[in-house]
Amino acid sequence: MKICVYRPGALGDLIVTGPAIEAMRIQWPDLNLTLIASPSWSALAGKARFLSADDPALLPLFSGKSPMRRDWIVQGGFDLAILFLQRPDPLLEQGFGTVASRVLTVRSRPPAGYAKNIRDFLFEEVQAALNLSVSRPPSRWPLLPEGVGDLRTESNPAMLWLHAGSGSSRKNWPPENYYSLAREFARSGYCILWSLGPAEEGLAQGLAKLQQDSGSVFWIRSQRDWQTWKAIQETSYDRSRTVAPGDGNSGSAAPVRKEGLHALLQVDLAQLISFLQECSFFIGNDSGVGHLAAGLGIPTLTVFGSSDSVVWAPQGPGNGVRTLGSAEGFPDLADVLELARKMVQ
């Protein structure tokens, strides 16, 4: 079976399609998959063929015509092209009809009142349209890049990953709250890693200002920066003092880390996935990065404030994914801190 999947949109839009893609891989073990998505997400294609959604060769498809070149099309053409779109696009369907025997448009957003996760909705749509005989697969991202396996075996038990941004400022919990979390966990021996998207330079500068009272901020933009930061961590403990994780009164004691060990991570997706293998816990907003963390098996706490936490909650292969807040408003800092403490114990 030769299938082309067209999945435009942000990182989270691609991640939540995982169970639907995995269901097709189970249904057709010899599946020849071509994924068309944002060029920024190519690292998530794994061994599948990948084509940038921005490739000029695709432009004629939007006018119902054949592509400008055909070197990306499998021999004999595709058996099926699946277009994940918010609404049908007859011209685009006609264009993909020049490279595939059948074209299927799948709604990428559930109707109002849908009360399950977005992954369930996308799987159900694909299952019904293709008459799949498989049950809903787990929520691990199915197309793992080379070298990425069980992330939990490589994780650093004292590395907290924070993501204070998202695709919309309305979904962002105040960055001051994230810094309060970071300061609390740093006192318990955690090193703090902040990830930032390409459009979040302003947020990065704001976080840097928040941290001026506790020392320098280390930018990580390359593998060399990452190795340098790790080396700094090894010499940053006050071994003469210890504090227990969470509330300071229970659990195994950890050395107290000197203040100022915050790193701001701004790298491409392939590097981000590589670095995540050393993180043990994620806290962040409703964002693609949160979906990625959960989909890779990292314990995840997502803070909601303007979107539906039932529909858009991250999911992963295990049970270590929790949410706080809802479309009605953000949770209090104290509630997030309390749940985070419980999750790391």
The pLDDT of residue 250 is: 38
Domain covering 2-130 assigned CATH 3.40.640.10 in the classification: no
The CATH number of the structural domain formed by 151-344 is: 3.40.50.2000
Phi, psi angles (nearest 5°) of residue 135: -85, 170
pTM above 0.75, yes or no: yes
Query: What are the residue boundaries of the structural domains of the chain, listed by start?
Result: 2-130, 151-344
DSSP string, 109-175: SPPTT--S-HHHHHHHHHHHHHT--SPPPPSS-SSPPTT---GGGG--TTEEEEE---SSGGG---H
**Burial category of 87 from C-beta neighbours within 10 Å (exposed 0-12, middle 13-18, buried 19 and up):** exposed
Buried-state track 277-313, b at ≥16 Cβ within 10 A, e below 16: bbbbbbbbbbbbbbbbbbbbbbbbbbbbbbbbbebbb
The pLDDT of residue 274 is: 85
Structure tokens at 177: 């709250």
Give the mean model confidence (pLDDT) for residues 293-300.
91
Phi, psi angles (nearest 5°) of residue 271: -70, -40
Determine the length of the chain. Answer: 345
Asked whether 281 and 343 are in contact (CB, 8 A), the reply is: yes
C-alpha torsion angle, residues 212, 214, 217, 223 (rounded to 10):
-170
pLDDT tens for 79-134 read 999 999 999 999 999 999 999 999 999 999 999 999 999 999 999 999 999 999 99
Q: Which of 90-94, 230-234, 246-250, 317-321 has the lowest mean pLDDT?
A: 246-250
Which DSSP symbol is given to 202? H
Average pLDDT, rounded, for the chain: 87
Percent of the chain predicted with pLDDT > 70:
83
pLDDT tens for 138-188 read 998 888 766 565 444 455 667 899 999 898 889 999 988 998 998 899 888
The pLDDT of residue 2 is: 98
The pLDDT of residue 219 is: 82
Residue 277 pLDDT grade (very low, low, confident, very high; cuts 50, 70, 90): confident
C-alpha to C-alpha distance for 252 and 70, rounded to whole angstroms: 60
Percent of the chain predicted with pLDDT > 90:
61
Q: Is it true that 2-130 and 151-344 share their CATH fold?
A: yes
pLDDT tens for 248-268 read 433 444 444 555 467 888 888
HEC sequence for 294-343: HHCCCCEEEECCCCCHHHHCCCCCCCCEEEECECCECCCHHHHHHHHHHH
